[in-house]
């Protein structure tokens, strides 16, 4: 019995891909900016805008940044090529 060398999956076969794209990072940066602004306002004593921005950042923007999918990075949403039916004969 000969030992076989196992190799790590590569991006060529589609088994190992990073799920986040540019849109995810931009949305995450916006969420962090909103959260930071919320904490700054909280430190200044704002009891109206600070909680609104913190809830918006933590409950809406961060989950949105995780769930957004790039169209290029997602092979499941790419439409299959249309089949053309040609008359036979």
pTM: 0.63
Looking at residue 77, its pLDDT comes to: 52
Cα–Cα nearest to 19, from 78, 79, 80, 72: 72
Got the DSSP string for 26-51? HHHHHHHHHHHHHHHHHHHT-SSHHH
Residue range 31-78, pLDDT digits in tens: 999 999 999 999 999 999 999 999 999 999 999 999 998 776 555 555
């Amino acid at each position: 019995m000969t030992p076989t060398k196992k190799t790590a999956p590569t991006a060529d076969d589609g088994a190992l891909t990073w799920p986040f794209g540019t849109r995810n990072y931009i949305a995450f940066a916006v969420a962090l900016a909103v959260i930071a602004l919320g904490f700054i306002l909280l430190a200044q004593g704002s009891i109206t805008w600070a909680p609104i921005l913190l809830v918006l950042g933590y409950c809406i923007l961060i989950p949105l940044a995780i769930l957004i999918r790039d169209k290029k990075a997602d092979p499941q949403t790419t439409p299959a090529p249309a089949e053309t039916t040609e008359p036979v004969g």
